[in-house]
Structure 1
Amino acid sequence: MDYYAIGQQIRKFRKANSFSQEELAEKVGISTTHMSHIETGNTKLSLAVLVKLSLVLEVSTDDILFEHPLINKSTLIDKIITNLEKCSSKELIIILDIINATQISLSKHL
């Protein structure tokens, strides 16, 4: 495993969320020094810390472990709105039903 690359992913998501290292470390329950060492790849992170980081940063563990282009939440919302604006009223009602059903299913299974 490339711990430096993982650390850089964490750093990228931390900055996208406008967290300082201190703020993220506090939210995750680790020391600022440990957070710094994780970001620089100087230490391995535990599974528990990885999961906490993904929850706080609102990304999947895969997003942390594997490099993907960074698409922040507001960019995604803008893309969704652009697509929704092309829909008819009837299509929007169907899409809303799908979103509601998906949210219910996600809350049951996550």
Structure 2
Amino acid sequence: MNCIGIEPDYTAIGKRIRKYRWEKDISQEELAEAVGVSTTHMSHIETGATKLSLSVFIKISTALDISADLLLNDNTPPDYIYSQIQKEGSDRQKRILTELSKAAKMILEREKI
């Protein structure tokens, strides 16, 4: 346990590392090489079978170009989701996102929020 008595959920962190690695279309081998660990160790990190050090965690975050808070918790900020769709989404996804944004803006204005 850490100093405040809360053990990080290494399995959940590992799943998020794998998720963002897949999204970036980076192989496990490529990420392991970028971070300076073996592919086996990276596999263990992604499955939660091993605890990762802070330095390895930071290297993973940097290699994936993802903020550490995205890897630590499930609360993906809306602006990240929006930017991912704008960068990598299909034309249809971009159109739907724009329509949803306009509808939300109208509701917020109508409700004076």
Q: 1:5 aligns with which of 12, 22, 44?
A: 12
Q: What whole-Å deviation, never above 9, does each CA across 1:6-49 have from its counterpart, x for those lacking one? A: 00000001001101110110011110000000000000000001
Counterpart of 2:85, as a letter, is T
The match for 1:32 is: 39
Separation in 2 of the partners of 1:65 and 1:74? 19
Identity of aligned residues (%): 54
CA distance in 2, matches of 1:5, 1:32: 19
Match of 2:51 among 44, 57, 65: 44
TM-score by length of 1: 0.65
What is the TM-score normalised by the length of structure 2?
0.63
Secondary structure of the structure 1 residue equivalent to 2:81: coil
Distance of 1:73 and 1:35 partners within structure 2? 27
Unaligned runs of 5+ in 2: 1-7, 88-93, 99-113
Question: CA-atom RMSD, angstroms?
Answer: 2.5
